[in-house]
Amino acid sequence: MQSNVQIDASQLPDEQGRFGTFGGVFVPETLMPAIEQLREEYGRAKADPHFQWQFEELLRTFCGRPTPLYFAERLTQKLGGPRIYFKREDLLHTGAHKINNALGQALLAVRMGKKRLIAETGAGQHGVATATVAARFGLECVVYMGETDMKRQALNVVRMEFLGARVVPVTVGQATLKEAINEAMRDWVTNVRTTHYLLGTVYGPHPYPMMVRDFHQMIGDETRRQILAVEEKLPDLLVACVGGGSNAIGLFHAFLKDENVAMVGVEAGGTGILPGQHAARFQGGRLGVLQGTKTYLLSDEDGQIQLTHSISAGLDYAAVGPEHSYLHDVGRVHYDYATDDEVLEAFQVVAKTEGILPALESTHALAYVIKHAHEMPPNQVVVVNLSGRGDKDVDQLARRLDRLT
Ligand SMILES: *Cc1c(COP(=O)(O)O)cnc(C)c1O
């Protein structure tokens, strides 16, 4: 599983926000000034040592960075294959990697003088991260969430409300993430002068895919230092789950130029690769434009977006971040999937061998490793991104695993 493609990742995206044929800016005219302002301000912030210092200081003291790189000794022994390490993003404040990006964009909003944050959320994890940083900086916060998701993720709705956010139910269509994003965009068009749209993954119009990637880049930078310190070599394989793709890009980016580091992104295989039963965009997805960007998405022959399914709300979306589409097409990253059943099995294995309850999203990456470990020699090293903790998922898991009466 070695890649021969060498990529100068620092060159992408181009000025128009394109990763090869993917990405770009596909938004209504009314949003162009806000997008322009964001692009310019982010460019200035990136080059400003004070901004970088603020970001790093709060990542350390508020969020809990750097996160450890943990040797999963018992899982390694059990599988009898490569040495397996977990990058512990699950130990961050609010329970997942999402706080990295939320903090970066909140600092940027303050810099732009915006007093109001809006966000979309599916499972509620990004909503909680956004509500958290809004409270920390004294900003008003409105989170759009599908009514179906609000019922499924009632605990996260309460968390957001405790943090002072207003959660607005979206009732149109499937009443899930896609509709919530449309509502957030509509709000932004109306309130651009006062409002920053805090997008939750490496998706949407430029500069979001680039900016969100940059705000997660420390995941890979830290991993690089940490693995060199213990193994005295780079990892042979990196594995991460891919919803929009932010935790995966965060881990992969620092290694893209290292030809001998293979990478696998794991999508949601749901109940199988049939229309409407999964969210694996690289299993039969087509090129299309959705919510601001050009990328692989699940649509029918008429271009209608297909329904998706995953046991994990955080991976349940019809499109994937444009940089992943690029990395897929040039062959630098291999994309595979794990099914709901494989995820349920992997969750129980990791809980019992390592004493960690991983988020259902992250468990897709673990399921891949459990399935393929026997194909790799024991002297190899694998790093899995443990993007979040599973506390949010225990109700759903208990129901699925028949632990409730
Ligand atoms: C939201 C979420 C994901 C999926 O988002 P990406 O942008 O693909 O990282 C993965 N893991 C956890 C724990 C999440 O909360």
283-311: per-residue pLDDT in tens?
999 999 999 999 999 999 888 999 999 99
Average pLDDT, the chain: 95
Query: How sure is the predictor about 1, in pLDDT bands with cuts at 50, 70 and 90?
Result: very low
Ligand 1 atom at minimum distance from 315 CA: 4
Interatomic CA distance for residues 372 and 369, integer angstroms? 5
Q: Which phi and psi (to 5°) does residue 80 adopt?
A: 65, 20
Beta strands in 3-96 (DSSP E): 18-19, 22-23, 69-71, 83-87
Quote the ligand 1 centre to 99 CA distance (angstroms).
11
Residues 6+ apart with CB under 8 A from 110: 137, 139
Closest residue by CA, ligand 1 atom 3: 314
Residues touching ligand 1 (Cβ under 6 Å) are 96, 98, 125, 201, 241-248, 314-315, 359, 361-362, 387-388
Strand partners, 288: 295
Domain 16-60+98-212 matches domain 64-95+217-404 at the CATH topology level = yes
pLDDT at 225 > cutoff 70:
yes
Q: Tokens at residue 168, please?
A: 């607005």
Closest residue by CA, ligand 1 atom 5: 243
> For 318-345, b where at least 16 C-beta lie within 10 A, e where not — what string?
bbbbbbbbbbbeeebbbbbbbbbebbbb
Question: Is 98 labeled as catalytic in the residue annotation?
Answer: yes
Quote the ligand 1 centre to 98 CA distance (angstroms).
7
ω into residue 169 within 30 of 0, thus cis? no
Which class would CATH give 16-60+98-212?
alpha beta
Question: Is 299 labeled as catalytic in the residue annotation?
Answer: no
What pLDDT is attached to residue 174?
82
Query: How sure is the predictor about 2, in pLDDT bands with cuts at 50, 70 and 90?
Result: very low
Q: Choose one of 201, 217, 266, 324 to mutate for the ligand 1 pocket test, by most ligand atoms within 8 angstroms of C-beta.
A: 201
pTM of the model: 0.96
Collapse the DSSP code of 74 into the 3-class scheme (helix H, G, I; strand E, B; otherwise coil) and give the result. Answer: helix
Q: Choose one of 90, 202, 246, 323 to mutate for the ligand 1 pocket test, by most ligand atoms within 8 angstroms of C-beta.
A: 246
Question: Is 267 labeled as catalytic in the residue annotation?
Answer: no
What pLDDT is attached to residue 313?
87
The residue-averaged pLDDT of 133-137 equals: 98
Lowest mean pLDDT, pick from 15-29, 173-187, 327-341: 173-187
pLDDT at 128 > cutoff 90:
yes
pLDDT at 201 > cutoff 70:
yes
pLDDT at 125 > cutoff 90:
yes
Closest residue by CA, ligand 1 atom 4: 243
Quote the ligand 1 centre to 405 CA distance (angstroms).
30
pLDDT tens digits for range 159-185: 999 999 999 999 998 888 889 999 999
* Cβ pair 195, 119 in contact under 8 A: no
pLDDT tens digits for range 309-322: 999 989 999 999 99
Residues 6+ apart with CB under 8 A from 289: 26
Beta strands in 56-209 (DSSP E): 69-71, 83-87, 116-121, 140-146, 166-170, 195-197
Query: How sure is the predictor about 6, in pLDDT bands with cuts at 50, 70 and 90?
Result: low
pLDDT tens digits for range 344-374: 999 999 999 999 999 999 999 999 999 999 9
- In the chain, % of residues over pLDDT 90: 90
Q: Choose one of 86, 97, 120 to mutate for the ligand 1 pocket test, by most ligand atoms within 8 angstroms of C-beta.
A: 97
Ligand 1 atom at minimum distance from 249 CA: 9
Quote the ligand 1 centre to 362 CA distance (angstroms).
8
What pLDDT is attached to residue 405?
44
Question: Which entry of 89, 120, 267, 342 is annotated as an active-site residue?
Answer: 120
- Tell me the helix, strand and coil percentages in the chain, rounded to 5: 45, 20, 35
Question: Which entry of 98, 114, 178, 294 is annotated as an active-site residue?
Answer: 98
* Cβ pair 14, 340 in contact under 8 A: no
Closest residue by CA, ligand 1 atom 10: 361
For the domain 64-95+217-404, what is the CATH code? 3.40.50.1100
CB atoms inside a 10 Å sphere around CB 232? 7
Collapse the DSSP code of 372 into the 3-class scheme (helix H, G, I; strand E, B; otherwise coil) and give the result. Answer: helix
Quote the ligand 1 centre to 29 CA distance (angstroms).
30
Closest residue by CA, ligand 1 atom 13: 388
Query: How sure is the predictor about 129, in pLDDT bands with cuts at 50, 70 and 90?
Result: very high
Residues 6+ apart with CB under 8 A from 228: 234
Lowest mean pLDDT, pick from 26-30, 75-79, 262-266: 26-30
Q: Which phi and psi (to 5°) does residue 346 adopt?
A: -65, -35
Domain positions in the chain: 16-60+98-212, 64-95+217-404
Distance from chain centroid for Cα 316: 11
